[in-house]
Each structure stands twice: as structure tokens, then as C-alpha cells.
Structure 1
Amino acid sequence: MPKTDEREKRYLSLRIKIWFAFILIFTPVFVASYIWFYLYTSEKVLNSISEDLVQTISGAVEKMDVEGFVTLYEEESANNPLCPPAPGVGVEDSGYYPENPLYWEHVTWLSDVEKIEPEANVYTYIKGDEPGEVLGIGSSGALRDPVVGFKFCQSYTSTTSRIYDGLSQRVDVWEPYEDPFGSWITTYMPIHDADGKIVGAIGIDILASYVQDVQNGIIRNGLIAFVLSYVLIFGLVYLMSGIVTRPLIGLATVSKEIGDGNYDQDLDALDNLGRWDDEIDTLSDTIKIMIGKVAQREQILRKRVSQLEIMVDNTKRQEEVKQIVESDFFQDLQSKAKNMRKQFKGGKDK
């Protein structure tokens, strides 16, 4: 006996199949696009912020009152025993806020520079006496409430050489790092006097959390846009798949009716109303031709069946007559009738 597939087949409409296929194909594309957008946006945000910092620090060095900067340290180091700090004095115990007008003019100018980058902290420093040591000169944070940043003549020795290297060349630190004051991205640039001599350096910090907040904000908005686009596009695909498959569903319904012998079906409603025919129109036309041929063949078959039924009835009738004629009863009856005719004929002759 031939084997039959006993597995139960579940119905899944063509519309859903098309929709699922589109989802399976384009969901990885959407995910890959969002990952690319995430990486690209993060890089662009960091590049934009870093470029702004470089432009700001370059403009600050160009417009800085270098002579006042030099004079400030000379006066304070000559008149105040706290400047420079004694050897071994740490960052927490060194530094102060002088009454020197040059200092307040300097930090006011740094505060003006900070207004260009409101999230930044601008400060200046010089080379210290110890290896890797720098001494703070001014900070835009001196005018904040509460006060933050370098104090004047505050000693600071970093665990890295970045801030110290800023006394000789521009140093960009775009990877977030941590120090006693927080987590930052930074750029440093040396300060030259009129003779081209390096007399100090300026640094601009931005909290790494600010950069991350900007990145996260853009990425969050991008994610919302991607989700809305995803839902909208797949919603449109679902609607379009319904429009595309509607004629096929209609043809399937018509085919089922035709299979049940109902040939009077309106296929014109399934025709494409546009100027261009497609495969569905070809299939519809083919089904129309098939309907005509099947209906014609059915009529011919019915006529032949009727003829065969008549022939069968005649044959059956002849067989029944033959059986009656050849039966003993009919033969005996026929013999008696024959004798009666002879007797009747003999009596008449007398």
C-alpha cells in the first residue's frame, strides 16, 4: 500500500507568508542599520565636540593676555610664601585665591572663554619644580558657586604625562579618563609669549558624562525614529500584501466554487483595472477559458450519459421481454393458444 503523509497541514495565508518573509529579510537590515547609526553617531558626536574644543582652545591661546599671565605669577611668587608651594605639599593642601587684580582679570577672561563651551572647564597652568608637576594659575571655576577647579599655585602631579606634555605641544585626550576632579575628555595647548617662548599651558575639560549624555540623547531619538519607521514600514507591507494577494484569494475562492460545479462565476471583478496586465490577469484569463471548456465538456458528458441511459433502458427492456418470451409459462401459454386456434379453425371447417 502506498504511504500517505499523515502530518496535519496548518493553513497559513499567502498574505501572512509574504509579511513574515519581509520581516525575516529586513529585520536584520534594520538592526544592522541601527548598529551602524549608533556607531556613526557616537563617532560624529565625539568628533564634533572635540573639534569645538580644539577651535575654542586655539582661539583662547590667540586672544590671551600672555603678559598679564606671566606678570601674575612673577608677582605672587615674589610676594606670597605659598607660591610656589613647599616640596611635598599635595594637591589638597596647596593653592589659594589671591587678591591680585591680575588673577581676577585672568579668571574672568577664562570664564568668558567658558561661555563658548558652557559644559567645559577652562584653566591655565605652568611647569612645576618637581618632575611631572604642574602649578595651577587660574580656572573658570573660580567664579562659580561653589568654587571648583585649580586654585592659584595649586600643585598637581598626574598619574599620566598628558597634562605635563601639554606644556610643550597640543595634546588631545578624547578617550574618557578619571582624575581627582572627575571623568573627562580634554585638550591641552602650550602658551607662548611674544618671543615664542613657552610660558605655560591652557587646558579645556568636558565631563565625559556630558559627551555620553549627548550621544545617548541622539541615539535614543534615533531608536525612537527607527522603531516608528519599522512599525510603519511593516504596517504598510501588511496592507500592500493584502492588496497584492486579494486577487489570488479571489481566484482561490472562485476555483473552489468551480470545483463544486458552480461555473457561473464573475471573474471580471478580479481583473486589473490599470493599463498594464500582470500574472494575475493571465491566470484569470486562463481560468475563464478553463471554465468554458469544462462547462462544455460537462454538457457533452451529460448528453452522452443520457444517451447511454436510454440505450441501457432499451437493452434492459429487450432482455426482460426475451426472458418473458423464453419462460416455460409463456411457452406453455403459447402452445395452448396455438391448440385453441387449431381447434377453432377445425370446428369452423365442419
Structure 2
Amino acid sequence: MAKHAPNKIINWFRGQIAVKMTSSILLLLLFVCAAFSVSSYLASKSLTTKLEDQFVLRLTTNIENVSKYMTSIPEHADEITGKDQPAYTKIKQQFEQFKKQDSLENVYVLQKVQNKDQIVILTGVDEDFGTEYPFTPEMNSAIKENKLTISEIYKDEFGIHKSVFVPLKNVKGENVGILGIDLDASVVPKTKQELLWTTFTITLIVIVIGGLIAFFISRSVTRPVIQLMRVTEKVAAGDLSAQVAIQRVDEIGKLANAFNEMRQNLDSLIRQIFSSSNLITNTSAQLYQSADESSSSSAQVAVSMNSMNEGVAEVVSSITESTSSIVEINTELSEVTSEVKEMQEMAHKVGAQSADGQQLVEKTLHQMNVIQKEMKHSQEAAQQLGNRSKEIGEIIHIITEIAQQTNLLALNASIEAARVGEQGKGFAVVAGEVKKLAEQSTKAASSITELVSSTQNDSLLVMESIVQGNQAVEQGQSWINDTYENFKVIFNGISVFSNRTDHLIHTLERAERSFEIISNAMQKISGITEEQSAGYEEVAAAAQEQSASIQEITSAIRQLSDMAVVLQSSVQNFKITD
């Protein structure tokens, strides 16, 4: 647990902008305060040095003046044995005058008497003579080395001093004591202490005020950032109704305005995607229904074409049989010339067969009318299929435009997310998925467009084949009408032939010629009918191909509808503004 505590503190420090800003400012203040403290220390040291130099100069000057005085008078301080001596009074009065005149702290004479250190004269003190006062190392050094000695600043029972000492000689020239001057040096440590306390106080005030300023600055910066972070987390969770209410004109305000604009753009994008997905779903349902109807129509056309083909095959078979019968009749007519009775009987048979042929031709004519109507229906269905294909093409064009617009909006969302940076990563992922979906929609729409184009081409071919088949049916109908009329003539001729046996030969000759004409006509009709049957087979094959194409379109539309449903489910995760 203790091992993880530093890591938690480091992670907390790294995860807080306010802590980073406050710490950075405090570190800067500490550096400034440290520099200020060093500068103050150096200034204090320099000032102390200058003060000590001034003390040394004053002490040197004052001790020279006192020494000159001591050498100028006939009395000797080492000969003073008590306070009642005139020399004591004279010298002490002059020392007091030096003290007052030069603002000295003490002027004194110390002497070694019988190995004891004692005061001879000390200004400012009445009971001075004979008082023991141990010599300091500087005093002993002055006596021993016989030179002027200046002490360091020191503290004793009388205060804080800086002193100067010169040896005191007797009549023999021996060093028997010292002549000393003290200056009040309390100003030096006092100045040091005041500078230290001033530096400490200023440093403490700067750190406290700087800390407060850093706290308020970091708070003013991080408060809108935290607010923006919370709103960003809501937007990342799909709540696009959240707004950043920051009224500032600095970079943070611009960032908040840019974020609000990005959120509004994303909200509009999601709205458009939702609306587009609904439109795609509805349009796909309509397309699916239209394609289903077209597929049913194509299947019906194929069934009708197969039925028509079977009917035409029956017509061909009937015409073939009629042609064979006519050939047989023609043969029998050649033999009737020699056998009248057999010819008359054959005439009855021919009459009966002519009646049957007339009924067959009537059936054929009726079937041709039915074929013509079915051809017209097929032509109308093909035209309707072409129109539906055009409508599908227009709708696919709309879908393509929507997918392109969606792709463009997804690109704009990716750009805005990149500007935001780390907060915009969630929005960049969503924009990428929308872009992929738009590209898939574009590819699907392109595939559907190709299928629709192929269907339109097939529809045109079917329409051309139906038109040609319709023309062939009309021509065959005309020929069958002629055949029907010829059968009437044959039937009437045979009736007349039965009643007018005397004109049998002539009538048979005319009948023979007529049968030759009929045979040629039937052969032509048979050839045309076979061609029509082949055309119907092609129409049926084209209808089957169209049905397969429409089934592919239906599958593509179903995929598009599924994609729209997936897009709707993805968009529903977002909460947009009302």
C-alpha cells in the first residue's frame, strides 16, 4: 500500500492542471525568492564588510589620537595606584572627553598587576580601578606582538563591541598593559538580523500572495476547462444537447465557442443522418415494392410468352396439317377427272374438311387476336418497367447525393475532431464510421445504378422485340383473315361443285389452282408463325433475364434497407436537441 502511495500522488499531480499551474508558479516564486535571499545575503555581507571597514577606520583614527595624547602628557598610566591620584582624574576626564567627542563606547587602560588582569581606567564607570577583567586573545596578541590589534566583533557583559588595542609601555619601554577603545558594534548584527527578517518576511509574503494569485489564476483557467471537459464527456457519451456556458473573450472562450459550434454541427449532422436514414428506409421499401411488382410482371410476361409460344406451335401444327390435307385434296382432284362418282364423294369430304378448316382458321384468328392483345399488354408492361427503372435511377441518384453529402459531413466532423485534439477522439471515431457507411452506400448505389441501367437496356430490347412481334402478329392476322376468306370461297365453291356436277371439271381445275395458292399461302404462314414462335421464345428469355435482374435489384435494395436500419440504430445512441 505504501509503495503505491507515491505513484498515486504522482498520477494525481499529473492529472490536475490546477496543481500543475499552481506548482509551477510556486516553483517560480521559490526560485525568485531564493535569488532574492541570496542577493539579500550578499548585500548584507557587503554592507557588514563596509560597516566593519568604517569601524576599523574610526578605531584606527581614534586610537592614534588617544595614543598621541598619552605620549604628550608627563603622567604615565602604569604608575597610577589609585583613584585619588591626580593622574587618574586627569586621564579619565580626557578619556571621557574623547568618548563624548568621537561617540566612542569605551576608552580604557588595562594592566597586568602581579599576573592579574585588571582595569586601570574605564570611561563611564565610577568603580573602575582595580576591577579584574581577563585579557582577550587580541589583547594578549597586541602586548606580545607589540602592535596595533583590531578585534573581531564580540559580545561580553557590557555589550557588543569592536575594539582596537595598542600596547601600554612603562618608563622602561616594557609592555605592561594595553590602551583600548570600544565602539558599539551592535548595529552590525542588528543590521544582519533585520535584513534576514526582512528577507524572510518578504519571501513569506511573496510566497503566500503568489500562492493565492496562483490559486486564483489556476482556478480561473481550470474552472472553464473542467466545465468544458464535463460537457465534452457528455457529448462523447452521445448527449449532443449539452452546451458550454462560458462567457469569455480569451482563448478558452474561443475554445468554448468553437466547441459549441462543433457540437451544433455534429447535432445537425446526426439530424441529417437520421433524416437521410429514414428517407432511405422509406425509399427502399417503395423500391422493394416496385421491384417486387416488376418481378411479378416479368414472371407474368414470361408465362404469357410461353403460353403464346405454345399457341403458335399449335397453329404451326394445324397449318402443317392443313397444308398436307390440301396436298392430298389436290392429288384427289387430279384423280376425280376420271372418276366422277368418287370425285363427288370426295367433294363432300372436301366440303366437310373445308368446314373443319374454316373452324380451325376461325380458332387461329381468335388465337391471333389473343396473341395481339397479350403483345399489347407485354408492350405496356415493358414500357411501365422502363418507367419504373427510370424512377429507380432517379431515386438511386438521390441516394448517391445523400451518401456524398454524408461523406462530406463526416469529413468535416473528422477535421473538427482533429482540431479539438484528445477531447475529439470519440467524435473522430464516430465520424470515421459514418464516412465508411456513406462510402458503402455510394458503392451500393453505384451497383444498383449499373443494375438499373442494365435493366433499362434489357427493357428496351424487350420493347423492340415485342413491337416486332406485334407487327408480325398483325401481318399474320391479316394473312389468316385472307385465309379465312379463302376458306369461305372454298366452302362455297365445293357447295356449288356439289350442285353443279356438270361444271365439275372446270370447278376442280379452279379449285386445284386455288389449292395451289392456298398451299403457298399456308407455307408462308407456317414460316412466319415459326419466326413468331422464335420471337416469343426470345421475349420469354428476355423476361426471365429481366426477372433475374430485378431480383438482384431487390436484393441490393434489401441490403440498402438493412444498412439504413443499422445507421438508424447507430444514430439513436445520440441525444440531440429538440
TM-score band (shorter)?
A: 0.5 to 0.7
Instruction: Tell me: CA distance 1:237–1:66, structure 2 relative to 1, closer, same or farther (3 Å).
Output: same
Q: Which of the residues 2, 14, 19 maps onto 1:16?
A: 19
Higher strand share: 1
**1:204-223 alignment, distance < 5 Å:** 204-205=181-182, 211-212=188-189, 214-223=191-200
- Please tell me whether the aligned partners of residues 29 and 207 of structure 2 are also in contact (alpha carbons under 8 angstroms): no
Please tell me the residue identity of whatever aligns with 2:88: Y
Read off the aligned partner of 2:208 and give its amino acid letter. Answer: V
In structure 2, the partner of 1:307 is 279
Supply the distance in 2 between the matched residues of 1:23 and 1:121 (Cα, whole angstroms): 50
Q: Which of the residues 269, 273, 286 maps onto 1:297?
A: 269
2:27 aligned partner, one-letter code: L
Alpha-carbon separation, structure 2, partners of 1:316 and 1:211: 104
Deviations 1:286-326 (A, max 9, x none): 435423432332122111221234256668989999xxxxx
Closer, same or farther in 2 for the Cα pair 1:107/1:129, shift >3 Å? closer
User: Could you tell me whether the CA contact under 8 Å between 2:120 and 2:130 is conserved in 1?
Assistant: yes
- Does the CA-based 8 Å contact 2:162-2:182 persist in structure 1? yes
Answer whether contact 1:107 1:142 (CA < 8 A) is retained. no
Whole-Å separation in 1 of the counterparts to 2:213 and 2:99: 50
Aligned length: 276
Show the counterpart of 1:168.
147
| C-alpha distance in structure 2 between counterparts of 1:265 and 1:122, whole Å | 82
Q: Which residue of 2 aligns with 1:332?
A: none
* Structural RMSD (CA): 5.0
* 1:205–1:58 CA distance, 2 compared to 1 (3 A): same
Q: 1:204 to 1:306 in 2, by over 3 A?
A: farther
Residue 139 of structure 1 corresponds to 122
Letter in 1 for 2:278: S
> What is the aligned-residue identity percentage?
14
Counterpart residue number, 2:180: 203
Gaps of 5+ in 1: 1-6, 78-82, 84-95, 192-197, 273-278, 322-350
Q: What is the one-letter code of the residue matched to 2:150? A: D
Q: 1:182 to 1:270 in 2, by over 3 A?
A: closer
After TM superposition, the structure 1 = structure 2 runs for residues 110-259 of structure 1, keeping only pairs within 5 Å, are 110-114=95-99, 120-124=105-109, 138-143=121-126, 147=127, 151=129, 159=137, 161-164=140-143, 168-169=147-148, 171-174=149-152, 176=154, 185-188=162-165, 202-205=179-182, 211-212=188-189, 214-259=191-236
8 Å contact 1:72–1:102 — kept in the other structure?
yes
1:121 touches 1:139 (CA, 8 Å); kept in 2? yes
Query: Who is 2:525 aligned against?
Result: none
| Residues 166, 188 of structure 1: 8 Å contact kept | no
Q: Which runs of 5+ in 2 are unaligned?
A: 1-6, 169-174, 294-578
Question: Is the contact between residue 134 and residue 164 of structure 1 (CA under 8 Å) also seen in structure 2?
Answer: no
Tell me which residue corresponds to 1:280. Answer: 252
Residue 172 of structure 1 and its aligned partner are, at CA, apart by 2.5
Contact 2:240-2:263 at 8 Å conserved across structures = no
TM-score normalized by the length of structure 2:
0.37
**Contact 2:142–2:167 under 8 Å retained in 1:** no
* Higher RCO, Cα 8 Å, sep 6+: 2
The 3 A distance-change label for structure 1 pair 222 and 113 is farther
Greater gyration radius:
2
What CA distance in whole angstroms lies between the structure 2 residues aligned with 1:63 and 1:183? Answer: 22
TM-score by length of 1: 0.57
Is 1:270 the equivalent of 2:273? no
Q: Secondary structure at the match of 1:252?
A: helix
Look up the match of 2:40: 37
3-state SS of paired residue (2:152): strand
Structure-2 separation of matches of 1:183 and 1:63 = 22
SS in 2 for 1:122: strand
Greater mean deviation of Cα atoms: 200-209 or 239-248? 200-209
Contact 1:167 1:201 in 2 (8 A): no
Is residue 56–residue 113 contact of structure 1 (8 Å, CA) maintained in 2?
no
Given that 1:125 and 1:202 are in contact with CA atoms closer than 8 Å, whether structure 2 keeps it comes out as: yes
Given that 2:227 and 2:244 are in contact with CA atoms closer than 8 Å, whether structure 1 keeps it comes out as no
Query: Structure 1 residues 165 and 225, CA, compared in 2 at 3 Å: closer, same or farther?
Result: farther
The 10-residue stretch of structure 1 (13-22 or 65-74) with the greater mean CA deviation from structure 2: 65-74
Shift of 1:155: 9.9
> Out of 82, 88, 91, which is 1:103 matched to?
88
What amino acid maps onto 1:293 in structure 2?
A: N
Higher helix share: 2
One-letter code aligned to 1:173:
S
In the alignment, is residue 54 of structure 1 matched against residue 47 of structure 2?
no
Please state if 1:26 is matched with 2:32.
no
| Matches of 1:58 and 1:133, distance apart in 2 | 30
**CA shift digits 1:242-273 (9 cap, x unpaired):** 33444434433443454421265555x2323x
1:227 deviates by 1.4
Whole-Å separation in 2 of the counterparts to 1:34 and 1:99? 57
Distance 1:232 1:17, change over 3 A: same
**1:91 maps to which residue?**
none
Q: Distance in 2 between matches of 1:19 and 1:281?
A: 21
